[in-house]
């Protein structure tokens, strides 16, 4: 992937396929590091599946929804000297607290760090594709925090106007551009 | 911060329109957004379609959707345009081609044959 924001889009799709109703994407940056967390309340994975989920060659047809996405993210993190971790609680065993958390840690000054890229387009694409899912996007930078919570937008828009309406998507894009731009 | 007032205005504007049920649009554009599609450049293609539909006031008439991997990864980004029982499959789409597809096919009604899978396989 040319941008980390493309990996984020790809991994968040796994959460959606796992029937999540809330997907949280949290980026925490310092001058030297970037931590990416993608958390969902989806159906989770069994321990057996979790153990082999980052191995692209053990993926079988029944598991193709995961496929290459996690191995690519793991590679992107590890090639900067960083790491990736996955924690998951299966719905059958944890009826109240099921879900999956993917955390990846990057060293930004490493030569092989993939730039974050157009994260705004990733957020817009996710909302466009899954307007029924709630998203929290939070990007904590050294000097400010950029955030979007679709639940808040849903309250304003009511039930008749889907979040995937092109006008709403344009609003989301402009809101994020404004937040990134202010104070610079 | 962009104001929630603007969002309220969008709500009112949309409520005044006849709300179309899902599936009632005349045309449907579907972009492949699996790992293969995303890696090949599907995200800007999707966003170009969304913006063009908004800018040209085609909301309700044209739907934009996403789909997974359809097993033809080497042709990604793949875009399918559905109209009635007709389907046109475009391959190796980028933002410029997406704009052209909206202009000529979605608005003009003429599919662009040279961008289709049929032309790519020749």
CA distance B44 to A178: 20
Residue B21's pLDDT is what? Answer: 53
Q: Name the β-bridge partners of B64.
A: B29
The pLDDT value recorded for residue A68 is 83
Spell out which residues of chain B touch residue A158, defining contact as CB-CB under 8 Å.
Answer: 11
Nearest residue, CB atoms, B33 vs list A13, A64, A168: A13
Q: For chain A, what is the radius of gyration of the CA atoms?
A: 17
- How would residue A65 be classed by pLDDT, with cut points 50, 70 and 90? low
**Alpha helix positions (H), A18-95:** 47-52, 69-78
Question: What pLDDT is stored for residue B25 in this prediction?
Answer: 82
As a whole number, mean pLDDT of residues A103-131 equals 97
User: Considering CB atoms only, which of B33, B53, B65 is closest to A166?
Assistant: B53
Tell me the average pLDDT across A126-132.
96
**Rounded to the nearest 5°, which phi and psi values hold at A39?**
-120, 140
CB contact under 8 A, B50 and A67: no
Question: Quick one: pLDDT at residue A79?
Answer: 97
**Mean pLDDT for chain B overall:** 90
Q: A78 and chain B: CB distance < 8 Å anywhere?
A: no
Q: How many pairs of residues across A and B have Cβ atoms under 8 Å apart?
A: 89
Backbone angles phi, psi at A128, to 5 degrees: -60, -45
Which pLDDT does position B70 carry in this prediction?
Answer: 86
Percent over 70 (pLDDT), chain A: 93
Query: B43–A121: do the CB atoms touch at under 8 Å?
Result: yes
Query: Domain extents for chain B?
Result: 21-120
- CATH hierarchy code of domain B21-120: 3.40.30.10
Residue B99 pLDDT exceeds 60 = yes
Closest residue in A to B20 (Cα) is A160
Contact B7 A170 (CB under 8 A): no
- At residue A144, the pLDDT reads 95
Q: How far is A99 from chain B (nearest CA, A)?
A: 21
Containing H/E element for A169? helix A166-181
Flag if B46 and A125 touch (Cβ within 8 Å).
yes
Sign of CA dihedral A170, B53, A38, A24: positive
Helix H, strand E, coil C: the string for chain B is CCCHHHHHHHHHHHHHCCCCCCCCCCEEEEEECCHHHHHHCHHHHHHHHHHHHHHCCCECCEEEEEECCCCCHHHCCCEEEEECCEEEEECCCCHHHHHHHHHHHHHCCCCCHHHEHHHHCC
Provide the terminal-to-terminal Cα distance of chain A, rounded to the nearest Å: 28
State in words which class domain A4-181 has.
alpha beta
Chain B residues touching A16 at Cβ < 8 A = none
Does A122 contact B at CB distance below 8 Å? yes
The tokens for A80 are: 């900067």
Given this model, what pLDDT does residue B121 score? 78
What residue segments make up the domains of chain A, in order of their start?
4-181
Q: What is the mean pLDDT of residues A84-97?
A: 94
Assess whether pLDDT exceeds 80 at residue A90: yes
Paired residues of B90 in beta bridges: B79, B116
> Binning pLDDT at 50, 70 and 90, where does residue A66 land?
low
pLDDT of residue B2: 72
- Give A182's DSSP letter: T
State whether residue A128 is helix, strand or coil: helix
Nearest to A71 by CA among A139, A142, A137, A11: A11
- Residue A52: CA count within 13 A, CB half-sphere: 9
Question: If you average pLDDT over residues B66-94, what whole number do you get?
Answer: 94
Interface of B with A (CB under 8 A): 1-2, 4, 6-8, 10-11, 13-15, 19, 33-35, 38-39, 43-44, 46-47, 50-51, 53-54, 59, 64-66, 68-69
Q: How far is A157 from chain B (nearest CA, A)?
A: 5
Confidence at B71, pLDDT banded by 50, 70, 90: confident
pLDDT digits (tens, 9 = 90+) for B24-65: 688 999 999 999 999 999 999 999 999 999 899 888 889 999
Q: Which residues, listed in sequence order, are joined to residue A28 by a DSSP beta bridge? A: A35, A140
Q: How far is B70 from chain A (nearest CA, A)?
A: 12
Give the predicted TM-score (pTM) of the model.
Answer: 0.91
**Pair A174, A182: CB distance under 8 Å:** no
Residue A165 contacts B, CB cutoff 8 Å:
yes
pLDDT band at A59 (very low <50, low <70, confident <90, very high): low
pLDDT at A56: 74
How many other CB atoms are there within 10 angstroms of residue B11's CB atom? 18
pLDDT band at B20 (very low <50, low <70, confident <90, very high): low
How far lies A145's CA from each of A172, A180, B13, B96, in Å? 16, 8, 31, 33
CA-based nearest residue in chain B for residue A172? B2
Q: What is the pLDDT of residue A149?
A: 97
Interchain contact, B43 vs A128, CB within 8 Å: no
């Amino acid at each position: 992937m040319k941008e980390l924001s493309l990996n984020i889009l790809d991994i968040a799709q796994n959460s959606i396929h796992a029937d999540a109703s809330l997907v949280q994407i949290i980026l925490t940056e310092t001058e030297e590091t970037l931590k990416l967390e993608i958390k969902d309340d989806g159906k989770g994975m069994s321990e057996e599946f979790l153990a082999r989920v980052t191995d692209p060659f053990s993926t079988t047809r029944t598991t193709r929804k995961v496929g290459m996405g996690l191995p690519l993210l793991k590679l992107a993190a590890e090639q900067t000297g960083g790491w990736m971790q996955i924690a998951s609680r299966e719905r059958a065993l944890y009826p109240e607290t099921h879900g999956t958390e993917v955390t990846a840690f990057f060293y930004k000054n490493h030569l092989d760090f993939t730039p974050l890229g157009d994260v705004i387009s990733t957020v817009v694409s996710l909302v466009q594709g899954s307007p029924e899912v709630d998203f929290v996007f939070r990007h904590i930078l050294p000097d400010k925090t950029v955030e979007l919570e679709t639940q808040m937008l849903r309250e304003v828009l009511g039930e008749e106007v889907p979040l995937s309406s092109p006008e709403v998507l344009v609003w989301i894009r402009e809101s994020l551009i404004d937040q990134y731009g202010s104070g610079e | 911060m962009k104001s929630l007032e603007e969002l309220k205005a969008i709500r009112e504007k949309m409520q005044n329109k006849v709300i179309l049920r899902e599936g009632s649009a005349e045309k449907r554009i579907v972009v492949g957004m699996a790992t293969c599609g995303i890696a090949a450049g599907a995200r800007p293609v999707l966003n170009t379609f969304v913006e063009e539909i908004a800018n040209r006031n085609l909301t309700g008439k044209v739907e934009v959707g996403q789909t997974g991997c359809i097993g033809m990864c080497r042709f990604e980004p793949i875009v399918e345009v559905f109209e009635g029982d007709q389907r046109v499959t475009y391959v190796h789409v980028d933002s410029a081609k997406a704009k052209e597809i909206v202009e000529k096919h979605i608005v003009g009604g003429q599919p662009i044959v040279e961008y289709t899978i049929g032309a790519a396989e020749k």
